[in-house]
Amino acid sequence: MSSPVILILTKKAGLYYTFRDNIREIFGDGIQLRSNLFPPINLEEADLILSSGSDNLYHDLVNSDKVKAPLLVANRSIDSKKLEKLFELPKSTRCLLVSNDEKIAEQSVTMLKRLGLDYLHFTAYSPDMETVPDIRNIDVAITHGLVDLVPKEVNNVLDLGNRGLDLSTLFEISKVLGKTFYQPSHITMDYLKNFVRIGRELAISVQNKHYINSYLEAILNAAQEGIVFINEQGMITLFNEEASGILGIESQKVIDKHYTHVLRDFQVEKVMNNYEPIPREIIKVQGLNLMTTIIPLMMAGNFAGVVVTFQDVTHVERMEMEIQKNKKKSGLTTKYTFADSVGVSNLMVKTKEIAKKLARSEYTVLITGESGTGKEIFAQAIHDYSSRSNGPFVAVNFAGISQSIAESELFGYEEGAFTGASRGGKAGLFELAQNGTIFLDEIGDAPLNIQAAILRVLQENNIMRVGGNKVVPINVRVVAATNKNLDSMMKEGTFREDLFYRLNQLPLTIPPLRERTEDIPALIDYFLNEKNSQMRFPEDVMSALTAYNWPGNVRELEGLVTYLSVIVDGIEPALNDLPAEMKANKPKDVQDERRIARLLENNGEAFIYREILHCLSLSQKHHSGIGRTTLKSMMNISISESQLRTKLDVLKDFHLICSGVKKQGTKITQTGLYVLNLL
Ligand SMILES: Nc1ncnc2c1ncn2[C@@H]1O[C@H](COP(=O)(O)OP(=O)(O)OP(=O)(O)O)[C@@H](O)[C@H]1O
């Protein structure tokens, strides 16, 4: 089923974007949005038409028989932070309320008066009014994002920004389209914070306290967290339905009681004393495990009380215990530690040192590196080295995974969420990774909607199962990996920038094998050992492998060892046993060979290098390495022993020559032969 379409009618693009952001924040990407400002407008495809005001455009549509979709006129909220500026205006300030529509300007005046600002003098204004009001003595113009419409005579402008959708409109949208809120408790909390501030201001200056309180109460009761407000005297002034449900106390019995009689097990006292919040703590109350947050409410720098929110996470905790028990059985453990990750090169030793440091922190790690470099091994080793090592390690690979599967796999689903959903629902991977690490492999392949959902989880630390309406708090460390170039994906718009920055808190790059060829012998030994193989790689094979480009990195090397262990009869593979591309030992990149040749030439001593390589190429024909003394005697150039040693070191660094471990002498590599041709 495709997602429903809302056609938003506004006069200004800025307002459309505000509405769009409000809707996305609440419903995720599950609703398609169109604007009357961006033609073509297809009225028939709209499932709902949302208008910013009942203006001409709206009336035309209401009266058109083409429109089948329900029409909704948006109720608008106001950002409380901006509202504070209004409350700072002195009594009797003369305010001009500027809008592009006379009616909207008048409505705004009514709203501001209702909010208790009736001690200010308001005049509604719109440039196309028939009777233009007297604006000579205006002190300040107030507008919602329409600063350009303020008459030039007024110097003081207070821009309250575009007014977004209020909660009642969002509820209405959810009802009409049958869409659930993405994270109701979080959203209502955010809106709530907004209203709490407004409510507070109103308590100081308004008579319509009753109206606001009942509105607040409706919002509070829709939230899925227990929410309790305690005023600065320690008296409970609000106690929502969920709080009653969890603690088994009727709200009438606790309102206006001191919190010590009701919330004995919560650490309210601490927050009352030092105004420091206590974020996300699990406490035991009446045999339940409650995830609690206690925050002080500060108003204009003064302590105004405490907000306590809590959720029953007993079932999550129980599930965790189950998981711990089944961890071994279900394979939620790691196989690799840093000790198993083979690497003797300086580069790898450094990389492991860094990774160990990252492991000790709680931040998100983003591992990048070419395919097959060992990113998953590092992810496992990081988990093993972290304080979460006793918790589960859950890996999810996004390569080729569809959006719907990714969603139900990651977040789980409730019974009946879709056709084929198991009875009793299913926990998602985030839930399974509780208190452990989730490894998001090939994150660059995650569909955009899933990227958005993951970002939300990272920000909110909770998830909601598909088809469910309960928010499940989670405590999971994220390690992500990719071999994609996320920079260019962000430029193309296929990877979300905000997610990238959230994941990239601790970046770790695993170098490609071609940059750490010293690891090749150690890795070969490791893989042979794993296979209990007695095979030994002779020098010429080793040097061919050292000169090879390894586009598939360690995975390719592992594959080669397996291949050779099957096809080789004796214990020594020959050069001829190698796959064509390795045997031919094509240059890693012709550019590379040219670059090396140029570097050697720049040194002004290319003729010495040429001579060394030439002599080694002659001995190569006899399949043997030669020692330094022999080499020196073969050369037609006179050069000191130490000079020769330095030159050989340079050639070795460029992988143009290699020398055996046990006095097998020095040999030229395939790359060396290429470079010799270029010199
Ligand atoms: N340092 C290492 N020590 C031992 N084995 C390694 C090492 N690095 C990689 N491997 C092996 O190479 C193979 C590829 O490693 P891994 O799957 O971790 O790579 P990756 O970078 O995650 O690859 P991709 O990007 O394709 O997912 C695995 O079989 C792994 O065991």
The yes-or-no verdict on residue 212 having pLDDT over 50 is: no
Top mutation candidate among 342, 377, 528 for ligand 1, by most atoms within 8 Å of CB: 377
Predicted confidence at residue 38, as pLDDT, reads 78
Question: Does residue 552 contact residue 372 with C-beta atoms inside 8 Å?
Answer: yes
Give the confidence band of 183 by pLDDT, cuts at 50, 70, 90. Answer: very low
Q: What is the DSSP letter of 414?
A: -
Find the mean pLDDT for residues 413-426: 62
Whether residues 524 and 648 fall in one domain = no
Q: Closest residue (by CA) to atom 30 of ligand 1?
A: 374
Whole-angstrom Cα distance, residue 46 to residue 68? 8
Choosing from 443, 478, 509, the residue where a domain stops is 509
The Cβ of residue 412 has, within 10 Å, a number of other Cβ atoms equal to 23
Residue 620 domain-assigned (yes or no): yes
Looking at the domain assignment, is residue 194 inside a domain?
A: no
473 is in which domain, residue-wise? 318-509
Q: How many whole angstroms from 430 Cα to the centroid of ligand 1?
A: 24
Query: Among the atoms of ligand 1, which is closest to the Cα of residue 482?
Result: 25
Q: What is the DSSP string of 172-207?
A: HHHHHHT---SSHHHHHHHHHHHHHHHHHHHHHH-S
Token pair of 227 as six digits? 């929410």
Three-state SS for 451? helix
Q: How many whole angstroms from 373 Cα to the centroid of ligand 1?
A: 5
* Rounded CA Rg of the chain: 35
Q: What is the 572 CA–ligand 1 centroid distance (Å)?
A: 25
Span 124-137, average pLDDT: 86
CA 511 to ligand 1 centroid distance, Å: 12
Query: What token pair was written down for 599?
Result: 């570097």
pLDDT per position as a tens digit, 368-389: 998 899 999 999 999 999 998 8
Query: Is 168 contained in some domain?
Result: no
Residue 482 Cα to ligand 1 middle (Å): 13
Structure tokens, 644: 């020769």
628: pLDDT strictly greater than 70: yes
Report the nearest-CA residue for atom 9 of ligand 1.
374
Question: Which band of pLDDT confidence, cut at 50, 70 and 90, is reported for residue 181?
Answer: low
With vertex at residue 135, the alpha carbon angle to CA 134 and CA 137, rounded to the nearest 5 degrees, is: 110
Residue closest via CA to ligand 1's atom 26 equals 371
- For tokens 């693009």, the residue is 13
What is the model's pLDDT at position 238? 83
Query: Which residue has the least CA distance to atom 7 on ligand 1?
Result: 374
Position 528 confidence tier, pLDDT thresholds 50, 70, 90: very high
* Domain of residue 438, CATH code: 3.40.50.300
> Are 317 and 434 a contacting pair, CB within 8 Å?
no
Q: How far is the CA of 558 from the centre of ligand 1 (A)?
A: 9
**E strand or H helix that includes residue 111:** helix 102-112
Asked whether residue 418 carries a pLDDT value surpassing 60, the answer given is: no
Q: Give pLDDT, residue 663.
A: 59
Would you say residue 147 lies in a domain? yes
Q: How far is the CA of 547 from the centre of ligand 1 (A)?
A: 20
CA 573 – CA 557 distance, rounded (Å) = 14
Are both 261 and 359 inside the same structural domain? no
Q: What is the DSSP letter of 537?
A: -
Q: What is the pLDDT of residue 141?
A: 94
| 461 and 550 together in one domain | no
Query: What DSSP line would sit under 11-80, residue for residue?
Result: SSHHHHHHHHHHHHHHHTT-SEEEETTSSPP-GGG-SEEEESSS-HHHHHHHT-TT--S-EEEPPB---H
398 and 477 within one domain: yes
- pLDDT bin (cut points 50, 70, 90) of residue 188 is very low
* Rounded distance from Cα 510 to ligand 1 centre (Å): 10
Share of the chain above pLDDT 90, in %: 22
Structure tokens at 126: 């719109």
Question: What stretches of 512-627 show up as alpha helix (H) in DSSP?
Answer: 519-530, 539-547, 553-567, 580-583, 590-602, 606-620
Domain presence at residue 184: no
Distance (Å) from CA 322 to ligand 1 centroid: 31
Residues 101, 126 contacting (CB under 8 angstroms): yes
pLDDT tens for residues 536-560?
999 889 988 988 888 889 999 998 9
What pLDDT does 679 receive? 79
Rounded to the nearest angstrom, the distance between the alpha carbon of 610 and the centre of ligand 1 is 38
Length of the chain: 679
Q: Which range is least confidently modeled, 110-114, 493-497, 512-516, 651-655?
A: 110-114
Given a cut of 50, whether residue 239 has pLDDT beyond it is: yes
Residue nearest to atom 10 of ligand 1 (CA): 374
Index of the ligand 1 atom closest to the CA of residue 526 = 4
Which amino acid, one-letter code, is at 449? N
Query: Based on the domain organization, do 606 and 575 belong to the same domain?
Result: no
Which of 376, 378, 526, when mutated, tests ligand 1's pocket best, judged by the most ligand atoms within 8 Å of its CB? Answer: 376
pLDDT at residue number 320: 47
Higher-pLDDT residue of 466 and 213 is 466
Name the closest-CA residue to atom 24, ligand 1: 371
Question: Do 238 and 213 contact (CB within 8 A), yes or no?
Answer: no
Locus of tokens 């009616």: 103
pLDDT at 260 over 70: yes
How large is the greatest C-alpha to C-alpha distance in the chain, in angstroms? 107
Bin 5: left if φ > 0, else alpha if -120 < ψ < 50, else beta: beta
Atom of ligand 1 nearest to the CA of 376: 18
Closest atom, ligand 1, to C-alpha of 441: 27
Nearest CA to ligand 1 atom 6: 374
Hey, which residues does 393 pair with through a beta bridge? 437
Centre of ligand 1 from the C-alpha of residue 445, in Å: 18
Q: Exposure string (b/e) for 314-336, b if CB count within 10 Å is 16 or more?
A: eebbebbeebbeebeeeebbbeb
Report pLDDT digits (tens) over 465-501.
Answer: 877 777 888 899 999 999 888 988 898 888 999 999 9
Domain annotation covers residue 181: no
Query: End of a domain among 290, 312, 334?
Result: 312
DSSP string, 195-243: HHHHHHHHHHH-STHHHHHHHHHHHHHHSSSEEEEEETTSBEEEE-HHH
Whole-number pLDDT of residue 299 = 63
Residue type, 639: I
Considering the domain architecture, whether residues 500 and 356 belong to the same structural domain is answered as yes
CA of 552 to the centre of ligand 1 (A): 10
Is the Cβ–Cβ distance between 475 and 430 less than 8 Å? no
Task: Say yes or no: 340 and 487 in one domain.
Answer: yes
pLDDT at position 196: 42
626 pLDDT more than 50 = yes
Which residue puts its alpha carbon closest to atom 15 of ligand 1?
A: 374
Burial class (CB in 10 A: 0-12, 13-18, 19+), 200: middle
- Residue 590 tokens read as 């012709």
End-to-end CA distance of the chain: 65
Mutate which of 383, 553, 554, 556 to test ligand 1's pocket (most atoms within 8 Å of Cβ)? Answer: 554
Tell me the CA–centroid distance for residue 538 and ligand 1, in Å: 25
Paired residues of 32 in beta bridges:
5
Q: What's the rounded mean pLDDT across residues 43-55? A: 81
Residue 561: give its domain's CATH number.
1.10.8.60
How many C-beta atoms surround the C-beta of residue 238 within 10 A? 21
- Check whether residue 114 and residue 256 sit in a common domain: no
Which residues, 6+ apart, have CB-to-CB distance to 173 below 8 Å? 6, 23, 27, 48, 50, 72, 179
Predicted local distance difference test score (pLDDT) of residue 355: 94
The protein residue with its alpha carbon nearest to ligand 1, atom 25, reads 371
Structural contact between residues 500 and 487, judged by C-beta atoms closer than 8 angstroms: no
Q: What local confidence, expressed as pLDDT, does residue 184 receive?
A: 43
pLDDT band, residue 180 (cuts 50/70/90): low
Nearest residue (by CA) to ligand 1, atom 23, is: 372
Whole-angstrom CA distances from 301 to 190, 275, 297, 298, 591 are: 20, 11, 9, 6, 64
- Do 578 and 537 share a structural domain? yes
Q: What is the rounded CA–CA span in Å between residue 367 and residue 362?
A: 15
Ligand 1, atom 18: closest residue by C-alpha: 374
Q: What is the domain-level CATH number for residue 240?
A: 3.30.450.20
The torsion region of residue 469 among left (phi > 0), alpha (psi -120 to 50) and beta comes to alpha
Q: What is the CATH number of the domain that holds 625?
A: 1.10.10.10
* 499 within a domain of the structure (yes/no): yes
Ligand 1 atom closest to Cα of residue 369: 21
d(CA 627, CA 38): 77
CA-CA distance, 445 to 281, in Å (whole number)? 35
pLDDT above 90 (res 641)? no
Same structural domain, 212 and 305: yes
Report yes or no on 202 lying in a domain.
no
What pLDDT, on a 0 to 100 scale, did the predictor assign at position 208?
39
- Supply 180's token pair: 């659930």
Residues 576 and 597 in one domain: no
pLDDT in tens, 281-327: 778 888 887 878 888 877 656 787 888 888 777 665 554 454 445 44
Report the atom number in ligand 1 closest to the C-alpha of 510.
21
Average pLDDT, the chain: 80
As for how many domains the chain has, the answer is 6
- Which residues' Cβ are closer than 6 Å to ligand 1? 341-343, 369, 371-377, 441, 481, 483, 526, 554-555, 558
Cα dihedral value 599, 600, 604, 607, nearest 10? -160
The interface predicted TM-score of the complex, written ipTM, equals 0.97
Exposure class string for 344-373: b at 16+ Cβ within 10 A, else e: ebebbeebbeebeebbeeeebbbbbbbbbb
CA of 593 to the centre of ligand 1 (A): 28
Residue 380 and residue 438: Cα distance in Å, rounded? 10
Report the nearest-CA residue for atom 29 of ligand 1.
Answer: 555
Residues 443, 372 share a domain? yes
- Enter the DSSP assignment of 235: B
The pLDDT of residue 676 is 84
Last residue of a domain, one of 258, 280, 312: 312
Assigned token pair, 120: 């200010």
DSSP secondary structure letter of residue 515: G
